Structure 1
Amino acid sequence: MHMGECQCVVARLEGGDSLIKAVEHIVKALKINRRNLTNDERKILADLGSQLTSIANMIEEDKDELGLSEVEKRFNTARDKIMNWELDQSMIWDSGSEEVNDYLKAVGEVREVVETLEGLNLIKDSEEDKLLRKTNDVLQTAMARLEEEFTHLLINFRQPSEPGQMSFRSSEEDVIDAGSTLSFGDESVDQDIGGSMSISRNSSADYIIDLVHPSIIPDLKCIANLMFDCNYDRECTRAFVNVRRDALDDCLYILEIEKSSIEDVLKMEWGNLSSKIKKWVRAMKIFVRVYLASEKWLSDQIFEDLGTVGSISFAEASKASILQLLNFGEAIAIGPFLPEKLISVLNMYEVLSDLVPEIDAMFTNVKTECQDVLARLGICVKATFDEFKTAVASKTSTNPFAGGGIHPITKYVMNYIKTLTDYSETLNLLLKDTNEKQSSSPFSSPDKDQEDDDIPTKTSPSNVPSLSAITSQFGSLISILETNLEDKSKLYKSEPLSHIFLMNNIRYVAEKVKGSELRTILGDEWTRKRNWKVQHHAMGYERATWSSILTPIREREDSGGSGSGSISKTLLKERLQSFYVAFEEVYKSQSGWLVPDEQLREDIRISTSLNVVQAYRNFVGRHVHNHHLSEKNIKYTADDLENCILDLFEGAPRSLRSLHKK
């Protein structure tokens, strides 16, 4: 390389060519001309080498002057602050706001150092790279400490969640006076939660309780934001989910909800299971509308600045608890379809149905499970109702019901159906598919000739067309009951008692319908038909009982000797005596029969009295007046018989001996 070439390189360098290109040009020239260099050229190259060494040293000094030593100094100060707390067993947030601020400032310094060093193109194992690894280690230590502090705050500042100790609040802060009653469907907070409490309502109409003390939420939010900024989001959300999952488990425990497998539920006796269902119905409302709503609110507050993190963390924390409740519902739905379960399952269905919109609004990961359980409960309701029909139809007897009163099955079925009217809308929805198959069902009508009497028509009731499904289903169920009663009436050897039995039971059915919401469902025409049946059996009773008894004393033409129309006194006495014997037997037996309905009992007595007493009075009056019979032949007065008839159907057999005329 000649002097001119070196000057050219310098000129190019001064003209703005890159340093690397200049060096490459010099190295190339030296390879070509290194043996032909003059002494002057060798001297210039030696001077250039010295200058490059000096420049390299100056660059290192400039780099320190530009702040690398200052960065390391800041890191060392922050590191000391952070590591000193690792030797301390106390919690930072228990040590006062000054210590908290100092610690957070130290963490912020370390984070800035990390960001500064990560912004440089560092050479592996260089001093700067080693410093970066140190800062990351310290940052990890700080994050672990913040996770511990975060957990500590969530646990130690939890608010009481037992009934009667809750402090209700709202994002609106519109606090209502303690002791106020807020409604959950048809039940009040006082019933479901109990105790004196401070209640408030948020804009979503949820009832929010402070799961942690409100004063600590800004600190939790600060820690969460810092951990997320440092890319320790998983550690932060994991701490939140673990703590709040345990807290929600405690809430279920407070609500007396135990963890039970489906197999455990299926093995439970009905008494125990019924109690658990009642607790489940109560717990669902409180857990979803109070605890979960409050949990969602807490999560949203802590992770307010972090997008969807709040919703995701809430869902993860609460999923296990809501699934525990849903699993119990599923176990009930797949269990045996016992008639005694129907009301309980309806309660479960209605509660879950009401809560579905709220659960859907809070969760994205349990919607399917919730809908599945609701559908299963609906199927269980239909199957249990059909099983109830089957049970009523198959409830046979081998002995007649004593006294002809109201059979227990009549009371059970009618009280059962009356209770079901509280669930009219739900049943109408769930039984509509069953109603469409009514015509092909064995329960549609036990006797096609009486179908119009047993199953209400579409125009009955005309004012509630929306209840067509339960109108048909309830009518079908009652017709099954009536068929069962018809079969039971045939067990009586006495035809009159058979009529009394059917009259009593059909009357009971009609009165239950008339005095309840069933009247609206089944219609007045349906009730009139039952009342007609009652009258039919009342007349049947009178014919079967009194027609033969009154035959001896009914006035008729009696032929005497020589066609004179005279009546044999002996025959009259025999006829009267025959009447007395038959009447006494009726009194003895039918005073032991029972007609519980006071009005019905009075109506039968009056009708019987008008028929029997009048016939007796006419017979005795005529023949005593005509001297065919003497006073000594008269055993009872008409008033005696009337009083005796007033003793009938009291359920206690009596004797007429005390009324014998002396």
Structure 2
Amino acid sequence: MGDYDSMIPELKGEENLIAAAKHIVKALGSNKNLTVDARKILAELGTQLSTMTAVNETKDDGTSEIEDLLHSVEEKIMRWEEDQSKIWDSGQEEASEYLIAAGEAQKLTERLESLCLNKDDDEYVLLQRAHNILQKAMERLEEEFRHMLVENRQPFEPEHVSFRSNEEDVVDEVSIISFGDESVEDSLQRDRDSVSRASEEYIIDLIQPDLIPDLRCIKNLMFNSNYDQECYQAYTSVRRDALDECLSILEMEKLSIEDVLKMEWGSLNSKIKRWVRTMKIFVRVYLASEKWLSDQIFGELGPVNLVCFVEASKASMFQLLNFAEAMSIGPHQPEKLSRILDMYEVFADLLPDIDTLYSDEAGSSVRKECHEVLRRLGESVRATILEFKKAIASNASANPFAGGGIHPLTRYVMNYIKILTDYSETLNLLLKDHDEEYPSLLSPDMSPTAEEESKSGSSLRRISPMSSHLLSIASILESSLDEKSKLYKDPSLQHFFLMNNVYYMAQKVKGSELRDIFGDEWIRKHNWKFQQHAMNYERASWSSILSLLKDERFQNPGSNSISKTLLKERIRSFYLAFEEIYKAQTAWLIPDLQLREDLRISTSLKVIQAYRTFVGRFGNHVSDKHIKYSADDLESYLLDLFEGSPKSLQNSHRR
């Protein structure tokens, strides 16, 4: 075959190699000694070489066209590399031209990649050049995309968003933790926003609406150019910062669990109320609007859209969840219960919205954490109720409560359980199947009357889980009050104290939603209880003094004459005892005006009637100077009792 070497011209490059191969095929084909099969093979090889020549000629023309287009695109792209201003700030025409140029760079890159080039091809150099131009264009578009999202954000003004709310009446609230025998603190202010059950969402424009089409165009071009990660990261970082700013506007600080646990109750109470309000606005307004914005820009991309929303918002959501989790951890102080219930209710109300916003796998971590935090808040509610009962039972006092009035513990507990009726639906849900310690049937002292039995056909009526716990709390309170009453040395003051407190409990139940929970039978029983204590007070206070005025013969021994000495001593003893009672019981207090008036009247009827009878029968046996007070004087003095302001009659003169 060495003779064929002279037939191959000195050619270079791909075209020369093809020409040389064709020359060899032609020379071999003229050899008459070749077999038929060999000739067939050489014929096919010649056809393929001719095709390669035609393709190469076509490629030469295409390369020239691509190079010209690439040069034009490069000029347009690089012109903006030297300009520090923003393309979209220069007008829609400039922006459209840049988008077209970037789109052409992407198409030229794809066209060159389809040629399956080798590194030694001239076209490969063009491909590298196209990649560089496309990269420049994508970097610039990412910068423009980010700039447009940042600079065209709409201001968010939460005060313009209104939710249905209802200001509750202010009630007394005293911290059990601060109870002391000398405590005179009566109340703290409480204002609870009722949790809105509204399901409506408030969609607002988070950026200028007329920029959405441009943002969508940039997104499409970047995704088509395999710069989807850059686009996605630019969007999520900007929107993540926007959501952080939203929480800042709503005054939600970034607090660790340790920060929350160390916080004083006054400050924490304020932050809980702010959290409740923020959650409603953040989920129903801001997150709903954020999801809508993401849908507008990335909607047709399916799962990518949800990933963008989740990645942009989950940090802010976890910040809010972190606060709720800290509250659920404890300590389970009683004053926190209504606030934790507020958190639970608003969270439970928003959970369907959250599940919808964070649907599919992308949002599963947020969904799961929300459900877990809600569960922990529910556990915290149950634990706090049990701690509340323990706090009441263990609220021991070293000294009796001054004046025998309504103990701060009584005020606190009764107002506390009244507040809990606002959460009846939630408490019944949370306490259901969790009250093994307290059965869901009425306790023996709550058995219905015979009339109720005949109507119901049952000796016991079922009550709700919440009712069972509230009745239990009231019972624990009564036991605590009984123990506190024993601190008084004076039996009359023991009954006076219990009369005041049981009356307060009965009136609190009678005049509120607690009536439906405790029932009329409970009210009747406690009305009877406080009346018994009132009777026992009168008996202990006045029986001995009234015995001095009994209708007896003050006779001298051995005669039927009246002993004026004995009579004077009896009158003097009565006055001394009355003055002693007056001095003591003017310092005692009955806060309820009606109860105070009723007890004064009842006492006056007994004392004044006995005194009038005594003076009328025996007054003419002693001189006027021994009758220190008239019946009217005593009646007037009795009106000074139970005011909580000690007075003395020891040195006073007859009026």
Query: Aligning the two structures, in what range does the TM-score lie when normalised by the shorter sequence?
Result: 0.7 to 0.9
Aligned to 1:401: 401
Deviation at 1:81, TM superposition (A): 1.3
Q: In 2 relative to 1, CA 486–204 (structure 1 residues): closer, same or farther, beyond 3 Å?
A: closer
Structure 1 contact 559–566 (Cα < 8 Å) conserved: yes
Which range is displaced more, 514-523 or 530-539? 514-523
CA separation in 1, counterparts of 2:344 and 2:371? Answer: 11
User: Aligned to 2:630, which of 626, 637, 640?
Assistant: 637
Q: CA deviation at 1:98?
A: 1.6
Aligned to 1:219: 214
Q: Does residue 1:235 correspond to 2:215, yes or no? A: no
Q: CA deviation at 1:80?
A: 2.0
On the 8 A contact 2:554/2:567 being kept in 1, the answer is: no
> Is the contact between residue 439 and residue 468 of structure 2 (CA under 8 Å) also seen in structure 1?
no
Q: Indicate conservation of the 8 Å contact 2:498/2:533, yes or no.
A: yes
Distance in structure 2 (CA, Å) of the matches to 1:345 and 1:637: 61
SS at match of 1:553: coil
1:526 counterpart = 2:512:
no
Q: Which residue of 2 aligns with 1:436?
A: 436
Confirm whether residue 183 of structure 1 aligns to residue 175 of structure 2: no
CA distance in 1, matches of 2:607, 2:311: 82
Is residue 455 of structure 2 the alignment partner of residue 475 of structure 1?
Answer: no
Does residue 652 of the first structure (1) align with residue 645 of the second (2)? yes
Structure 1 contact 150–223 (Cα < 8 Å) conserved: yes
By how many angstroms is 1:495 displaced?
0.8
Q: Does 1:497 align with 2:517?
A: no
Alignment check: 8 A CA contact 1:356 1:370 kept: yes
Q: Which moved more, 1:603-612 or 1:406-415?
A: 406-415
CA 1:51–1:537: 2 relative to 1, 3 Å: closer
Cross-structure match for 2:535: 539
Query: What SS does the aligned partner of 1:304 have?
Result: helix
Shift in Å, 1:584: 2.0
Q: Aligned equivalents of 1:511 and 1:229: distance in 2?
A: 74
CA distance in 2, matches of 1:240, 1:504: 66
Of all paired residues, the percent bearing the same amino acid is 60
Q: TM-score with structure 1 length normalisation?
A: 0.81
AA partner of residue 367 (structure 2)? K
Matched, 1:316 2:304: no
1:49-60 to structure 2, matched below 5 A, reads 60=56
Q: C-alpha distance in 2, partners of 1:587/1:330?
A: 57
Write the deviation string for residues 131-177 of structure 1: whole angstroms up to 9, x where unpaired. 3333233222211211111111111111212445xxxxxxxxxxxxx
1:565 shift after superposition: 6.6
Give, in whole Å, the separation in 1 of the partners of 2:624 and 2:200: 88
The residue type equivalent to 2:395 in the other structure is K
In structure 2, relative to structure 1, the CA distance for the partners of 1:557 and 1:104 (3 Å cut) is same
Question: Which residue of 584, 588, 593 corresponds with 1:589?
Answer: 584
What secondary structure does 2:299 align onto?
coil
- Which range moves more in the overlay, 553-562 or 529-538? 553-562
Range with greater deviation from structure 2 (131-140 or 232-241): 131-140
Does the CA-based 8 Å contact 1:454-1:476 persist in structure 2?
Answer: no
2-structure distance, mates of 1:222, 1:291: 25
1:539 to partner: Cα distance: 0.3
Contact kept, 8 Å, 2:600 with 2:639, in 1: the verdict is: yes
Q: In structure 1, give the amino acid aligned to 2:122.
A: E
Q: CA distance change for structure 1 residues 60 and 249 in 2, over 3 Å: closer, same or farther?
A: same
Contact 1:506 1:533 in 2 (8 A): yes
How big is the shift at 1:298? 0.8
Taking the TM superposition and a 5 Å limit, the aligned residue runs for 1:326-475 are: 326-363=321-358, 364-365=363-364, 366-439=366-439, 452-453=444-445, 468-475=464-471
Which residue type is aligned with residue 605 of structure 2?
Answer: L
State the shift of 1:494 in Å: 0.7
Q: Match of 1:183, SS?
A: coil
TM-aligned CA distance change 1:47 to 1:527, over 3 Å: closer
Corresponding residue number in structure 2 for 1:271: 266
> 2:553–2:562: 8 Å Cα contact kept in structure 1?
no
Deviation by residue 1:532-588 (Cα, 9 ceiling, x = unmatched): 1110000001111111111122225788767x8765444333333332222222122
Out of 566, 589, 603, the residue aligned to residue 571 of structure 1 is 566
Note if contact 2:158-2:281 (Cα within 8 Å) is conserved in structure 1: no
Once the two structures are overlaid, the 10-residue window that deviates more, 549-558 or 262-271, is 549-558
Query: Letter of the aligned partner of 1:222 in structure 2?
Result: C
Q: 2:121 aligned with 1:141, yes or no? A: no
**Match of 2:5?**
none
Paired with 2:138 and 2:257, the residues of 1 have a C-alpha distance of: 41
* Greater relative contact order (Cα < 8 A, sep 6+): 2
Distance 2:45 2:472 in 1: 112
Find the aligned partners of 1:400 and 1:54 in 2 and give their Cα distance. Answer: 118
Q: Which amino acid aligns with 2:578?
A: F
Q: Give the AA of the match of 1:414.
A: M
Q: CA RMSD in A?
A: 3.6
Q: Secondary structure at the match of 1:91?
A: coil
1:511 equivalent in alignment to 2:507: yes
The residue number in structure 2 matching 1:155 is 150
Determine if the alignment matches structure 1 residue 205 to structure 2 residue 185: no
Gaps of 5+ in 1: 1-19, 38-45, 165-178, 188-202, 446-450
- The gaps in structure 2 that reach 5 residues or longer are 1-17, 35-41, 168-197
Q: Which runs of 4+ in 1 moved over 6 A?
A: 26-29, 46-56, 454-457, 557-562
Aligned to 1:174: none
State the TM-score, normalized to the length of structure 2: 0.81
**Could you tell me which of 264, 267, 291 is aligned with 1:296?**
291
Match of 1:603 in 2: 598
Contact 1:594–1:649 under 8 Å retained in 2: yes
Distance 1:29 1:69, change over 3 A: closer
Q: Aligned AA for 1:499?
A: H
2:285 partner SS:
helix
Q: Judge conservation of contact 2:327–2:340 (CA < 8 Å) in 1.
A: yes
- Measure the CA separation in 2 of the matches of 1:136 and 1:618: 120
**Superposition deviation, residue 282 in structure 1:** 2.0
| Aligned residue in 2 for 1:448 | none
Q: Decide whether aligned partners of structure 1 residues 654 and 282 sit closer, same or farther in structure 2, where only a CA change above 3 A counts.
A: same
C-alpha distance after superposition, 1:612-660 (max 9, x if no partner): 1112222222334xx5455454332222221122221122222335764
What is the deviation of 1:401? 1.3
Following TM superposition, by how much is the alpha carbon of 1:476 offset from its aligned partner in structure 2, in angstroms?
Answer: 1.1
- What is the CA-CA distance between 1:467 and the residue it aligns to? 6.6
| Structure 1 CA distance for aligned equivalents of residues 209 and 651 of structure 2 | 87
* Structure 1 position 386, deviation (Å): 1.3
CA distance in 1, matches of 2:100, 2:378: 58
Number of paired residues? 587
2:66 aligned with 1:71, yes or no?
A: yes
For structure 1, which segment, 152-161 or 116-125, has the greater mean C-alpha deviation from structure 2 after superposition? 116-125
- Which residue matches 1:104? 99
